[in-house]
A and B are shown apart, each in its own frame.
Chain A
Amino acid sequence: MDEVTSTAHRAAAVPPPVRRIVLDDQPTVVTPGANGNGNGNGTRTPAVRFAASDTAARERMRVEELTIAYAGRVAVRDVTLPVRQGEVLSLIGPSGCGKTTLLRSLNRLTELTPTATRGGRIALDGQDVDELDVTLLRRRVAMVFQQPNPFPMSIFDNVAYGLREQGTKRPGKRDLAPRVEEALRRAGLWDEVADDLGRPALRLSGGQQQRLCIARALAVEPEVLLLDEPCSALDPRSTQTIEDLIVRLRAEVAVVIVTHNLQQAFRVADHVAFMYLGELVEYGPAADVFGNPRARRTREYVSGSFG
């Protein structure tokens, strides 16, 4: 059963997007399901993961031959990568290898940098993102930054910001309240702030601020959530909270998380992409990349020899 489905999936899937590694007949994109990533999380039974990756519609975004340069200096070179709904994709690699750049290109935030140029294609549900209205694209593909960046306004206004800016007619506070609560609950912040949503967001702790930013991103109900090292400025407890949150969100949105923390990638990711000097070295199920890496670079990085 396991074997049958995975073969079927393999047939339907595009060629393995592995670069720099020549392998005979072994597919790099292995249908997840057979092996969990070993942390024994109860919510992530193989059955669920299997079902989640079964349908072809699961692939939400696709990056093809993506190359990004800053003023001619290449930061991301020729990367091909799928982003699937119902799983967490983790980008790992030493700092400066282009993880942030790749992530920001997914909702065209790289366009804010005047020197950045891009080649290759990025598709959201089969549609080229360059043809989408950038405003709509960014609503569907939300981003959480490395440094928590809540706006200098109340907690409520922070979460409601995206909602208020969406329509031409501004929704009233009464309409917004349930959606704000919902977003704060999904981000696991509700219990801590419910008593006073009028509090200034900048007085929250770092971990709370980052969860507020996640709530702000979730409020507009994105289909893909991009997280750029969301825990790098946080203490272990806040990190734990956010990791739990990511695992929970996985069912509803496609999550891409950049992290330089291998433990973290191991804990939350279903698929892992290892980048080195702007190139995608290895992509595959987390268990394979960590347990049985194919490329020497990956092996060295995963075992801590460099980076």
Chain B
Amino acid sequence: MPPATAPIAPRRPPAAPAPPPRRAKLLSGLGSWSDRRAELTLGALACAVLVLIGLMVVFVFSKAWPSFWHNGFAWFGGGGDVDRQLDNIYNGPSRPSEYVYKLHAWPLLYGTALTTIAGVVIGLVTALLAAVFIVEFAPSPIRRLLEPVVRLLAAVPSVVYGLIGLLVIIPFVNNHLIGEGRKESVAYVVQLNGSGLIVAIVILSIMITPIMISIIVDALRSVPQGWTEGAAALGVNRWRAMWTISVRSVRPAIVAAAVLATARALGEAIMLSMVSGSRGFAPNPLDGLTFLFEPVRPLAATIVDHSEGLSVTPFAQTLYAFAAVLLVSSILLSLGGWAAKRPLARWSAR
């Protein structure tokens, strides 16, 4: 206890605040960026992006219009050899009133759907199993090796995959998997040379799997430990807990991964043009196994394969029509992903 007589120290007057240095003023200028201003700026940016996308859609469709208009719904149908039709458009008369537009694009649309859907389905299943393995079952040395490898694979340019397909896989398929008999059986319709549907699908799925693995692994990692522990405490084994709790709770990430991979598969042009056989042919499932070796050419590959023809107006308009279809597909894809994720959000915490 202090003695009562102790003099009370006089209170110091508060020091006058030093004038703030210049830098501080600059910084505080930034700091005074109110939420409102940030909101407005970001909102404007977002709007600009939307307007840009809108303009792009309008531009592509206005260019593509003649092709759709001349063919009507038959544009989406089959009939005739689509590659010959493309040649006719390219070689048609140069007077605008005599432009040739006739096109039945079904083989290209079918080829796009076939490669994309098969590639994504195979890739997604593989990615899911691989991610589950990496997160839950891999011994840690293997895990430590696998993860960087997966990230590396996700970054390999698609043309490299195309090259490997061209130099390694196609000769292998041609020499070992397709027998002479098989080649002869369809020789009157199409030449089989190793490149074709199965090679395209396999390389496409290899190409899109790593990014899906990465996304799903990250999501599985962030599943709260309490959930898996809670399941274990109820006598559920690791494998069941993984599927019923962890994988279930990362469904939004799985959808996101699938959407991203589908977008990449839809837009993949170079690699597919190198390994798909690049023929406007619709593989026929009735051919049995031969179906897998028949050539295709998806839309994006068709565009790169024919980009030298852009100087011919009706041909350019036809290519724009392909682009328009791809654009609409990717918009529908985003909407589909959003619609698939929406009901899942309900279960997450707030």
Contacts and interface: CB of A to CB of B under 8 A. Distances in A.
* Of B229, B234, B348, B350, most A-chain CB atoms within 10 Å: B234
Contact of B249 (A152, A154, A220): A152
A161 B234 contact: yes
Given A152-B348, A200-B346, A142 B233 contact: yes
Nearest to A137: B235
Nearest to B345: A200
A209 to B, nearest CB: 10
Contacts of A137: 235
Interface residues on B, range: 20 to 34
Interface stretch (A76-84, A119-127, A143-151): A143-151
Contacts of A220: 234-235
A161 B244 contact: yes
A138 interface: yes
Contact of A142 (B224, B234, B348, B350): B234
B235 A202 contact: no
Given A152-B249, A152-B349, A145 B226 contact: yes
A236 to B, nearest CB: 23
Given A200-B346, A200-B347, A202-B350, A151 B232 contact: no
B234 A217 contact: yes
Given A109-B229, A152-B227, A165 B349 contact: no
Interface residues of A, number: 29
A108 to B, nearest CB: 9
A149 B235 contact: no
B232 A153 contact: no
A303 interface: no
A25 to B, nearest CB: 41
Contacts of B248: 152-153
Contact of A165 (B224, B229, B240, B346): B240
Contacts of B348: 152, 200, 202
B231 A151 contact: yes
A29 B188 CA distance: 94
Contacts of B236: 135, 162, 165
A165 B235 contact: yes
B234 A202 contact: no
Contacts of B226: 145, 147, 149
A143 B347 contact: no
A151 B245 contact: yes
6 pairs of A and B residues whose beta carbons are closest in the complex: A149-B226, A138-B235, A162-B234, A202-B349, A139-B235, A143-B233
Interface of B: 224, 226-227, 229-237, 240, 244-245, 248-249, 346-350
